Structure 1
Amino acid sequence: MRYLVFSSLVVTSALSGCSLYYESQAKDMVQRQMDAMVFVEGGEFMMGNPGGWSVRSDTIPAHRVIVDDFYIQKYEVTQGDFELFMDVTNYKHSNNSYEILREEHPERFQPNLPAVVSWTDASEFCRWLGSQTDTSIRLPTEAQWEYAARSGGKMLRYATENGNAEEGVTMAPRPSQYREQKKTLPKPPGTFPANPLGLYDMSGNAAEWVSDYYRADYYERSPINNPEGPDTPIIESWSNEPFRVLRGGDFRDFSGNTTVTRRKAIERVTNESTGFRCSFSED
């Protein structure tokens, strides 16, 4: 594997007007985010459920995909870093769910836990990170995410050292009682061992946003080269929001819902089970 090293980053005018304290904190945060970028050598793989990895029909058929080289963060972005981004840019979260969740579940908003974000919030954080480093940073595509979770497209069912899921070893144990499940929190990024590419928590911590729109039948017509998802979204009727894709399952799921092929459709609102990591390609 290869790690991208950025030295002497210059934080741009997005920070103008901030206090020197926040400016210093933001520069350190940007450096830390970029230091966490892991190089993933592109290649060809069979994307989707090869059989027995999921019961969901939207994970089939397995289909040939080729992805180019890219970088992806080895950790999920934390709540503390997302809040610092909001402080230095005056960014306002994209919907009221954020404040409602924060009031109802303040324990989920601890600074060392995965960020509680909508798809829009996650996308804006990645875009801003790119603006600070002159890099086209964004959320990974579904294809990039799965390829990375499978350590370069290998036949690994979970994004773990050996491709297996073991509660308390590779992922947090899931409480058996529903009442206790509601109290469960994700773990700080990096709590459990990384997969062979050095990427952490891609199975069963926060469910991670990817850039693609969701369609259940997309795999039936996905292009081979660097697929980026459907061109048009499905719109949730009550919220008028497009469905996006979450990957990797979340901290309340049983292990079978945290496989590398698991897909979940959700409108792009804030949800306490979600998180994200950023990605970019060198053009």
Structure 2
Amino acid sequence: GSFEMGDFGAPCEIPSGTINRIDWSPDAQCLSSPSSKLRGANHLHKVTLDSYSMSAYETSFMDMEWMRQINGLPVADNKWDGYHIIEGEVVERGSEDYEYLLTRRKNQIAGTKNWQQAKDYCQWLGNLTVLPFDLPTEAQWEYTARNRGEKRYYATNNGYRQLLGSGYYNPSTGYRVDYTDEEANSDTGLETYIGRWPANPLGIYGMSNNISEWTNDWYSPTYYQESPELNPQGPKTGEEKVMRDAGGATMTFVRIPNKTQEDRYYSSNSFRCSLQQKTPAIVLN
């Protein structure tokens, strides 16, 4: 499908008074985010994508651990001494720390130290299944988060960010409305448990959970000005990779440049894989 990629604007004054609850209008005169101009997202441009498939969930810690164990790689997590990371040491498989880690991280997303770890996992999955798995492109991520490119500010079930224990002012009634626990679809902290909140309308979970996800693209603040319409892949080279997230202070179109190498594992930096072919995979029982 086709869509307009980038910051599609927002009302200069939000009727509800909260940035978490915005309805788009064609009369929108302001940028939705102050970072849009700095990072080039203010350059709205048409993008057309061939069909692809996106993983419904972010990669889990156990998914990553199976891959790394099979390939003789160390455990993808930091070794701790109380509240402090022990630099240069890894968690040994079979140790008490490892067993505790398996219990604690079983249903949580995989943290990463760098972009290459995410890339390697998706390509390993491709080699294992003989299917063209890879990281999603930045355009694929945004198209999915925005429910096939709709003008949605958050990648939640309804396009709003309804925080647990919060509410908003309803200009129609003049009263404050508090969300019930059943209506909440996000939280203020890192939502590291997979599938905790409802999926977006496409059935994709965790795209608005304060977890930044790696994409395949190199970052350039001017790329949107030169991007091809069909299946953009990002610049050919760069120094930072594009990460995407639609939670917290970010929205579905916000670009997050990040250096490709870190000195530790960050639970806030994860990824999901995309199937880069026009037809769905056929599962044989």
TM-score over 0.5 (shorter chain): yes
Q: 1:261 aligned to 2:258?
A: no
Match of 2:244 among 238, 243, 247: 247
Partner of 1:144: 140
Residues 265 and 87 of structure 1: CA distance in aligned 2, closer, same or farther (over 3 Å): same
Residue 270 of structure 2: aligned partner: 275
- Does residue 45 of structure 1 match 2:6? no
Partner of 1:73: 55
Partners of 1:264 and 1:244 lie apart in 2 by 8
Contact (CA 8 Å) 2:144, 2:202: kept in 1 or not? yes
The corresponding residue for 2:186 is: 171
Letter of the 1:45 partner, please give it: F
Q: Are the structure 2 counterparts of residues 139 and 151 from structure 1 closer, same or farther at C-alpha, using a change threshold of 3 Å?
A: same
Give 1:100 deviation, angstroms.
5.9
AA partner of residue 64 (structure 1): K
Please report the RMSD computed on the Cα atoms of aligned residues, expressed in angstroms.
Answer: 2.3
Q: What is the number of residues matched between the two proteins?
A: 215
Relative to structure 1, is the Cα distance of residues 46 and 148 closer, same or farther in structure 2, using a 3 angstrom cutoff?
same
What is the CA–CA distance in structure 1 between the aligned matches of 2:205 and 2:147, rounded to whole Å? 11
Structure 1 residue 83 displacement after superposition: 1.1
Match of 2:119 in 1: 123
Change beyond 3 A, Cα 1:249–1:153: closer
Select 2:72's aligned residue among 69, 86, 90.
90
Aligned counterpart, 2:193: 188
Ranges in structure 2 where 5+ consecutive residues have no aligned partner: 11-31, 86-96, 165-183, 279-285
Larger helix proportion, structure 1 or 2? 1
Is 2:217 the counterpart of 1:212? yes
Q: Which residue of 2 aligns with 1:110?
A: 105
Q: In 2, distance between residues paired with 1:166 and 1:209?
A: 25
1:87-129 CA distance string (max 9 Å, x none): 11113579xxx53679846999723211011211111110111
Deviation at 1:81, TM superposition (A): 1.5
Of structures 1 and 2, the larger Rg is shown by: 2
Q: What amino acid is the match of 2:71?
A: T
Shift of 1:133: 0.8
Deviation at 1:225, TM superposition (A): 0.5
Picking from 51, 54, 62, the partner of 2:33 is 54
- Distance change (3 Å), C-alpha of 1:115 and 1:101: farther
State TM-score, norm by structure 1: 0.70
Structure 1 residue 44, shift from structure 2 partner: 0.4
From the superposition, tell whether residues 63 and 216 of structure 1 become closer, same or farther in structure 2 (CA, over 3 Å). Answer: same
**Distance between the aligned counterparts of 2:161 and 2:232, measured in 1?**
28
Letter in 2 for 1:153: G
Cα deviation, residue 271, structure 1: 2.8
Report the Cα offset of residue 189 of structure 1. Answer: 1.4
Distance 1:167 1:102 in 2: 33
Paired with 1:70 and 1:62, the residues of 2 have a C-alpha distance of 22
CA distance in 1, matches of 2:221, 2:272: 23
Q: Judging changes above 3 Å, is the alpha-carbon distance between structure 1 residues 83 and 225 closer, same or farther for their aligned structure 2 residues?
A: same
Distance between the aligned counterparts of 1:157 and 1:222, measured in 2? 22
Partner of 1:99 in structure 2?
A: 78
Quickly say closer, same or farther: Cα 1:90–1:193, change in 2 above 3 A: same
Structure 2 residue 236 is matched with structure 1 residue 231 = yes
| AA at the equivalent of 1:67 | L
Partner amino acid, structure 2, of 1:248 = D
Q: Contact 1:74/1:199 (CA < 8 Å) preserved in 2? A: yes
Separation of aligned partners in 2, 1:102 and 1:197: 42
- Whole-angstrom CA distance in 1 between matches of 2:194 and 2:81: 20
Q: Percent identity?
A: 33
1:195-218 CA deviation, whole Å, 9 max, x = no partner? 000001101331110000011111
